[in-house]
Amino acid sequence: MRLGIIGLPSCGKTTIFNALTGGSLPTGVRGDRLQVHTAVSDVPDRRVDDLSALFKPRKTIYAKVNYADIGGLKAESAREGLPGQQLNQLSQMDGFVHVVRAFESEMVPHPSGRVDAARDLAAMEAELLLNDMLTVERRSEKLREERQKGGGRDKAVIEREIALFERLAEALGTERPLREAAFSPEDARAMSGFGFLTLKPMLVVVNLSEGQAAPPLAAPGAGVQVLALQGEIEMEIAQLPPDEARTFLAEYGIAEAGRDRVLRASYDLLGLQSFFTVGEDEVRAWTVARGASALEAAGAIHTDLERGFIRAEVIGWKDLLDLGGLAQARAAGKLRVEGRDYVVHDGEVVHIRFNA
């Protein structure tokens, strides 16, 4: 999972990046030029901890999330289209964490003169919409030229793509992000190579000062969730050892670390889930889309397992813990044998049998 952290200048993007990754990048306004900082973070999961305690493996491997702190975005930056390098970074992301400023600070004045979270949220969405509109216009022009010249692709294919891009232009022209529109699998495949920014799920993180209440925002549309974090405090917590972090959370009355809340919301937005493999060598969490088949789960582990798939042995993680291990589960008849089309559920332990 790759999440791009975006936001207008002075919103506290890097503070949130540090809070999510435990990093210590210097914070503050760094200008308008493109800067990208990346970090890979483990996805905390109590189920992995419990399974590891049972199997005592040589390695315990959590699911991973890749965060990218992407600088350089500002209001009206997409008027002529985003620079290629910046657009390339944004297009590679599976979703966005959009940091919106709600905190007041004399040390960091807001570039617009006053703090207004709803205005800044709308401004960033407008930038993404404008960039997608420019992409649609350029592609539509090329398609019309291709239709006129002829002699290339099948005419019916070109006509279908023209009709699709007309629908995209209509949606964007009414300031409707593409994530709110419905597309067939065929349309989705045709769109996949264009990296449309408003098609990506978005988690809006409202960056608050200590003790501040979250400002009112309009109800989010499809593919968008909103949560509020006290950015500076969450950054401090993320940089503490686990025991001290728990104490800090308790002192401030924070039920759950912001990092965990963001990860849970991100999995939900992107339609992802975790399954596990266990053994003496390693206990490991794997990430797949909800609704993934046993064959797809095998492919997530290794392409050899997908090619040589015979069957999957499946059990819920809690049932496995209660029974005390795979041998006990097998003896009790609780280790189910499933075929390639079986739909894997969140939290299941999956063992793939395959032909090498």
- Residue 25: per-residue pLDDT: 86
CATH architecture of 291-354: Roll (3.10)
Interacting residues of 209 by C-beta distance below 8 A, sequence separation 6+:
102, 103, 104, 105, 230, 232
From residue 274, alpha-carbon distances to 92, 250, 266, 350 in Å are: 22, 28, 13, 11
Q: What is the CA radius of gyration of the chain?
A: 23
- Residue 308: per-residue pLDDT: 96
10-residue averages of pLDDT along the chain (356 residues): 93 94 77 79 94 97 94 68 81 95 91 92 92 93 88 85 94 92 90 92 95 89 93 92 89 87 92 96 97 97 96 97 95 95 98 92
- Residue 80: per-residue pLDDT: 60
Q: Where are the domains of the chain?
A: 291-354
- Residue 219: per-residue pLDDT: 83
pTM, 2 dp: 0.89
Where are any strands of DSSP class E within 85-237? 95-101, 202-208, 224-230
**SS3 labels along 243-295:** HHHHHHHHHCCCCCCHHHHHHHHHHHHHCEEEEEECCCCEEEEEEEECCCEHH
10 Å CB burial of residue 149 (0-12, 13-18, 19+) is: exposed
